[in-house]
């Protein structure tokens, strides 16, 4: 089977040095890099000159930028000052997306502080309020479910997306996150079915959940049915990105805080070893599944 999707990796899951990430991407024949933190800083804090240098290096390597993994709206829904700061941050990311040639800025749905139902209308209002920023820059807010925010799974994210009802706010499907979901949504097929038709971007991670403890592992070695998902994506002609987000280390463990706010040198320590392990596992899974990737879109 020939797949239309393209493969990428989040750079700080390898290193804070963009050249290291480029080297690994080229070694594995990836199509793109996704940017979250570089040089020890979240992307929006870097100078315009440094952004231009990073973009030039990626282009020179024959790679694209798949998206920007921003921390937008990982903040308190009841704090107007924080929300205003995050709107400014989103504006900066939207500008960076234009400069770097990507349409996707990942974002969230505010730190969870009670049931989604109680905050639903307020979250929808805030998401609608940023649509003009997105329209002006021609970028899409890729809303990701995350266990620490109100939309802790794909079904909740899909409900928000439907309520906002804008082509500029779509879904980022990360099946691995469901293994941390307090509601225990089944990553695939349940999470996929919930977001189907609204998925603009996909992150890949895997994990094993035992009781209340979840441990990230290499893609295909955990409890996400990636064989089933990959076949489904091929069958349905998904032609977007699959971006590896390793989220484990071989010689150490990421802290809860690092999982909630991934960025910086401490987060990236040991990342190259773990990400090559994860990429090897992904390509083994593709081979076992008899899936080849067309490079026509590269």
pLDDT tens digit string along 68-91?
Answer: 999 999 999 999 999 999 999 999
- pTM metric for this prediction: 0.97
| Reported confidence tier of residue 295, pLDDT bands at 50, 70, 90 | low
* CB neighbour burial string for 208-223, b if at least 16 within 10 angstroms, e if fewer: eeeeeebebbbbbbbb
Q: What share of the chain is helix, strand, coil (3-state, %, to 5)?
A: 45, 20, 35
State phi, psi for 144 to the nearest 5 degrees: -105, 135
**From CA 269, how far away is CA 250, in angstroms rounded?**
10
pLDDT for the residue 92: 98
| Reported confidence tier of residue 60, pLDDT bands at 50, 70, 90 | very high
In the numeric block, the tokens 């906002």 are attached to 164
| Cis before 2 (ω within 30) | no
Q: Coil, strand, or helix at residue 209? A: strand
**From CA 77, how far away is CA 126, in angstroms rounded?**
9
Is residue 179 a contact partner of residue 209, using CB atoms and an 8 Å limit? Answer: yes
**Please, what is the average pLDDT of the chain?**
97
Q: What sign does the dihedral 110-130-246-220 (CA atoms) show?
A: positive
State phi, psi for 240 to the nearest 5 degrees: -90, -160
| Reported confidence tier of residue 121, pLDDT bands at 50, 70, 90 | very high
**From CA 101, how far away is CA 107, in angstroms rounded?**
18
Q: Coil, strand, or helix at residue 24? A: helix
**From CA 156, how far away is CA 159, in angstroms rounded?**
5
From 82, 218, 74, select the one nearest 151 (Cα to Cα): 74
pLDDT for the residue 195: 98
pLDDT at 297 over 80: no
């Amino acid at each position: 089977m020939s797949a239309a999707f393209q493969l990428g990796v989040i750079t700080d899951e390898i290193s804070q040095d963009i050249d290291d990430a480029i080297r690994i991407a080229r070694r594995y024949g990836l199509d793109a890099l996704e940017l979250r933190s570089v040089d020890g800083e979240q992307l929006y804090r870097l100078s315009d000159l440094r952004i231009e240098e990073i973009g030039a290096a990626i282009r020179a390597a024959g790679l694209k930028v798949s998206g920007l993994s921003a921390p937008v709206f990982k903040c308190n829904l009841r704090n107007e000052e924080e929300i205003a700061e995050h709107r400014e941050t989103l504006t900066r990311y939207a500008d960076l997306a234009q400069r770097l040639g990507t349409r996707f800025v990942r974002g969230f749905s505010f730190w969870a502080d009670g049931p989604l139902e109680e905050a639903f209308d307020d979250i929808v209002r805030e998401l609608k309020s940023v649509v003009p920023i997105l329209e002006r820059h021609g970028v899409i807010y890729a809303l990701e479910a995350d266990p620490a925010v109100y939309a802790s799974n794909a079904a909740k994210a899909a409900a928000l997306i439907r309520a906002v009802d804008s082509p500029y706010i779509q879904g980022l499907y990360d099946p691995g996150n469901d293994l941390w979901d307090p509601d225990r949504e089944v990553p695939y097929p349940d999470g996929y079915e919930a977001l189907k038709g609204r998925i603009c971007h996909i992150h890949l991670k895997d994990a094993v959940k035992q009781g209340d403890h979840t441990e990230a592992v290499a893609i295909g070695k955990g409890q996400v049915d990636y064989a089933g998902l990959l076949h489904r994506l091929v069958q349905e002609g998904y032609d977007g990105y699959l971006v590896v987000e390793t989220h484990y280390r071989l010689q150490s463990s990421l802290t809860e805080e690092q999982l909630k706010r991934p960025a910086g040198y401490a987060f990236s320590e040991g990342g190259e070893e773990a990400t090559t392990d994860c990429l090897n596992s992904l390509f083994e899974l593709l081979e076992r599944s008899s899936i080849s990737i067309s490079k026509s879109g590269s």
